[in-house]
Structure 1
Amino acid sequence: MKVKFIGGAGTVTGSKTLIESDGIRILIDCGLFQGLKSLRELNWDPLPVLPSAIDFVLLTHGHLDHCGWLPRLVNQGFSGKIYCTRPTKDITKLILLDSAKIQEEEANKANEGKYSKHEIAEPLYTVEQAEKVFPLFRVIETNEAVALDAQIEAVYTNAGHILGACSIALTLENKTLVFSGDIGRDDDVLLYPPTKPKKADYIFLESTYGNRIHPKTDTKLELEMYFNNTVENGGTIIIPSFAVERAQTIMYLLWRLREEDRIPNIPYIIDTPMGINALNIFSNNQKWHKLTSEDCAEMSKMFSLVSDYQETMELILDERPKVVIAASGMVTGGRVLSYLEHYIGLLETTVIIVGYQAEGTRGRKLLEGAKEIKIHGQYYPVKAKILEIQGLSAHGDQKDLLNWLSELANKPTKVFLVHGENEPLDELRIKVQEKYGFDCKVPLMGQEFEL
């Protein structure tokens, strides 16, 4: 049996892990690379294995860095089954359609504005190609063994993080391989704590926040303070947000603050068509989160849900204070860019960063104090206040990741640390070895191991 790391190794994006056993090839996640140009360019490269030779894809969850390369995989010949939970299937459909639409729009803008280095800018994939992925989905239930082959079975267990997110235990050749996917927080506002594995011969553990402990701050109090200060100065609050789970968490917290009369009665806007659809998925999957159907309905009433781009432009030109929650969460594309083009250069604007920002993304550059950012080929001065609320992260921190390993009844042969940047990976490696004595390995992109 072999494992090959073809994404998500030494970086938090492009998650793809290939398992080969007795002629069967299984791809765990099929994510898009984001952030640094050197990583984004990998999206155009062929896989080290023919897509037509892959038998199964097992998705841990529906974020772009875990599912966003599926249209390329299918377009290049993959025709096998894609297993995932029902919320992941629904979210992945939204994510892929949104991604394809954005890529088509970006290519058109680059061609019209003549700022592409290529003679003709092409999208990585089209909406039509994204839609060809959908017939391959196979929905599975959590905690139930699914036979992929006579000798191979998979069991999905809740991982927290976002709706439908799971860890996967893959049993083959009398060994159990556990893929964490992205691990949520033990004290998440909306989601249930991750299920800890009980047995594993090999573990593939994400390391996004392997060197960070989330601060014990009052997130509602932070939001209250930032909102009131901005509105007093006549400014607008822009929150770049992942449309799935993070947007709903922010909605819930703002709804509670308004119920308590702690933030002003101004327009609260959800400007992401995908986020609006994600809200419906949230309402239709009650068993995956803590909110009642009444909570979902009541909090939705507080927000104006915007899907038409003409409405977006009208809101941008309306100078009155408002709160805008818009994708994308790492400011790599989507409607939030249109707002930032207009508002990032205004002193009274506040931009609140609420999630992980990968290397090379605009969100990361803003957090690091960039004086200007490039949007659609033009540079805009950054005069707005850039603030971060770490308490809204959907990723478990170092303590959560270590705690996720705490119920193992056996000592794994090896723990592979993936989906992290170099410093978090190395610090988590040391912590796991010190706390549990497990043999840890930080694989490099493209590395292959025999198990």
Structure 2
Amino acid sequence: MKIHFLGGTGTVTGSKTLLELNQTRIIIDCGLFQGIKALRDLNWQPLAIEPSTIDVVLLTHGHLDHCGWLPLLVKQGFNGKIFCTAPTKQISKLILADSAKIQEEEAAKANQEHFSKHNPAEPLYTVADAERVTPLFRVVEPNLAIKLTEECYFTFFPSAHILGACSIELHAEEKTLIFSGDVGQDDDVLMHPPQKPKLGDYIFLESTYGNRLHPQNDVFLDLEMIINKTIQRGGNVIIPSFAVERVQTVMYLIWQLRLQNRIPNVAYIIDTPMGIKVLDVFNDNPKWHKLNPHECEEMCKMFTMISDYEDTINAIYDKRPKVVIAASGMITGGRVLSYLERYIDKLENTVMLVGYQAEGTRGRKILEGAKEIKFFGKYYPVEAEVVLVEGLSAHGDQNDLLNWLNELTQKPKRIFLVHGENEAADTLRSKIFEQYGYDAMVPLLGQMVEV
């Protein structure tokens, strides 16, 4: 069995792992690279294996770094089945359509304003390319074995990361392989705890927070203090947020604070069309999260939902203090840029980051103290207060990842640490050996391993 690490190694983006069995090629996730230009450029490179020769995609969840390259896979010849859960199908359709739309818009803007070195600037893929993925989705229930061939079958089991997110147990050639996908926190605000593997010869474990522990801070208190302080000085709170699960988590926390009169009665705005659509996915899939339908309805009532860009402009130029949740979470694109264009250079405002900021992203740069930020071909001074609210990540921390291994009934032959920057992955490798005595390795991008 050959395993090709085509993405999500040494980085938290571009997740792609290819398995070559006797007669079958399976790709686990097919994500987009984000962050520094060297990584983004990889999206334009051909896959190491001809896409038309791949039989099946197993999709752990619908985040862009796990599903965002699917339109190119299909465009370049893949015509097999894409297996996933029902919420993952719904979310992936939204994510891919949004990604394609943003790329088309940014290419058009670059051509109009001549800030790209490419003439003409082209989107990585179009909305039409994204739509060609949908007919290939095949929905399966968790904890149900699905046969791919006479000798190969797989099972999804919930990983608690976002709605529909699952790990994968794959049986092939008398071996059991476990792919964690992204693993959520054991005590997430909205998600149920992750299900843990019992047996695996080879385990592919994410390591995003492999070298860190989430702080044991009171997230409610952090949000209360940041919002109150900013509003008192006449500023606006801009919250760049991932449209899937993070928007809904932040909404829930703010709703609870408002119910308790701990934050002022100002405008609370959700400006992410995709985030709004994900609320429908929450309503459609109550077994995947902790909120009941009544709570979902009451929570939504306190927020102004913006879908039309004209309303975005009106909100931006409204001088009254407000709290705005807008995509994207690492400030890589989306409507949050329109708010930051007007607000990031003013001292009274706050940019509240609520999740992991990958290397090379605008979010990471301002978090590390960058004095200016570039978007739309221009540089903007960073004068607004930049704060990180930790503990809201949809990823488990080092303890959660170590605990995810604690129900294994026997020692795995090898653990591969993926989906983490090198320092995080290597720290987790040491901790796994220290706690369990298990051998783990950090594969290189493009590496092939035989097992």
Same topology, TM > 0.5: yes
RMSD over aligned CA atoms reads 0.5
1:106 and 2:106 matched: yes
1:28 and 2:28 matched: yes
What's the CA shift for 1:424? Answer: 0.3
Percent of residue pairs identical: 66
The code of the aligned residue for 2:364 comes to R
Give matches, 1:276-315, under 5 Å. 276-315=276-315
What's the CA shift for 1:37? Answer: 0.2
Counterpart of 2:260?
260
The code of the aligned residue for 1:422 comes to N
Q: Distance in 1 between matches of 2:23 and 2:48?
A: 16
Secondary structure (helix, strand or coil) at the match of 1:264 reads coil
Could you tell me which runs of 5 or more consecutive residues in structure 1 were left unpaired when the two chains were aligned: none
Q: Distance in 1 between matches of 2:213 and 2:241?
A: 21
Counterpart of 2:163?
163
The code of the aligned residue for 2:287 comes to K
1:12 and 2:9 matched: no
Counterpart of 1:427?
427
What's the CA shift for 1:391? Answer: 1.4
Count of residues paired in the alignment: 451
Give matches, 1:81-120, under 5 Å. 81-120=81-120
Q: Deviations over 1:67-106 (max 9, x none)?
A: 0000000000000000000000000000000000000000
Secondary structure (helix, strand or coil) at the match of 2:391 reads helix
Q: Distance in 2 between matches of 1:117 and 1:237?
A: 34
What's the CA shift for 1:107? Answer: 0.2
Q: Deviations over 1:45-83 (max 9, x none)?
A: 000100000000000000000000000000000000000
The code of the aligned residue for 1:223 comes to L
What's the CA shift for 1:283? Answer: 1.1
Q: Distance in 2 between matches of 1:384 and 1:61?
A: 34
Could you tell me which runs of 5 or more consecutive residues in structure 2 were left unpaired when the two chains were aligned: none
The code of the aligned residue for 1:297 comes to E
What's the CA shift for 1:363? Answer: 0.4
Large movers: runs of 4+ above 2 Å: none
Counterpart of 2:383?
383
Give matches, 1:308-347, under 5 Å. 308-347=308-347
Q: Distance in 1 between matches of 2:349 and 2:150?
A: 59
Q: Distance in 2 between matches of 1:119 and 1:129?
A: 21
What's the CA shift for 1:136? Answer: 0.0
The code of the aligned residue for 1:162 comes to I
What's the CA shift for 1:182? Answer: 0.3
Question: TM-score, normalising length from structure 2?
Answer: 1.00
Q: Deviations over 1:292-316 (max 9, x none)?
A: 1000000000001100000000111
What's the CA shift for 1:150? Answer: 1.5
Secondary structure (helix, strand or coil) at the match of 2:142 reads coil
Q: Distance in 2 between matches of 1:148 and 1:13?
A: 27
Counterpart of 1:121?
121
What's the CA shift for 1:151? Answer: 1.1
Give matches, 1:122-271, under 5 Å. 122-271=122-271
The code of the aligned residue for 1:97 comes to A
The code of the aligned residue for 2:202 comes to Y
Q: Deviations over 1:190-217 (max 9, x none)?
A: 1011101000000000000000000000
What's the CA shift for 1:119? Answer: 1.4
1:78 and 2:78 matched: yes
Give matches, 1:42-57, under 5 Å. 42-57=42-57
Q: Distance in 2 between matches of 1:152 and 1:339?
A: 50
Secondary structure (helix, strand or coil) at the match of 2:178 reads strand
Q: Deviations over 1:226-254 (max 9, x none)?
A: 00000000000000000110000011111
Q: Distance in 2 between matches of 1:351 and 1:283?
A: 29
Secondary structure (helix, strand or coil) at the match of 1:391 reads coil
What's the CA shift for 1:319? Answer: 1.4
What's the CA shift for 1:148? Answer: 1.2
The code of the aligned residue for 1:54 comes to I
The code of the aligned residue for 1:397 comes to D
